[in-house]
């Protein structure tokens, strides 16, 4: 087994996003970017407009804590991992199509209250799974 550290970045401004990516990029292969729309979760972070022309020396995993994640994914081409929330997906076919057309890979995140019975029917669609240990929306939670 290979251990990989993937730092998570949750920010509200593009300049801070880029600063943090640059700070960690010499040490990691991938960066996880939290994206919130103030609809699926009660907080808002940098949005789609901030993800174009990011530093090229790392890979990106986008954690879409948004309603209709397929709409965002479709606009962000590249070999990214797109972590969508099980609870936010209304149409798996649309999500899978958006990920495939963007050239990325699908990941599934799920909230602490979500049962494994809800995850099991779709888990095989995912390249990776993220089990949230806090209710998503804010950093620094215990």
Q: What pTM does this model have?
A: 0.93
- For 12, 81, 135, the CA distances from 43, given in Å and listed in that order, are 10, 22, 12
- For position 53, what pLDDT does the model report? 92
Domains in the chain: ranges and CATH: 8-131 (3.20.20.70)
pLDDT tens string 81-137:
999 999 999 999 999 999 999 999 999 999 999 999 999 999 999 999 999 876 666
């Amino acid at each position: 087994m290979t251990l990989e550290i993937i730092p998570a970045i949750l920010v509200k401004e593009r300049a801070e996003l880029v600063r943090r990516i640059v700070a960690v990029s010499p040490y990691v292969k991938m960066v996880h970017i939290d994206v919130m729309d103030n609809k699926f979760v009660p907080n808002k972070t940098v949005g789609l407009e901030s993800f174009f022309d990011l530093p090229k020396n790392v890979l990106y995993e986008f954690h879409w804590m948004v309603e209709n994640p397929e709409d965002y994914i479709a606009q962000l081409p590249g070999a990214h991992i797109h972590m969508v929330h099980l609870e936010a997906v209304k149409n798996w076919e649309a999500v899978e199509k958006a990920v495939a057309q963007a050239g990325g890979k699908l990941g599934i995140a799920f909230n602490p209250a979500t049962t494994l019975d809800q995850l099991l029917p779709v888990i095989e669609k995912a390249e990776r799974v993220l089990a949230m240990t806090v209710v998503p929306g804010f950093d620094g939670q215990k």
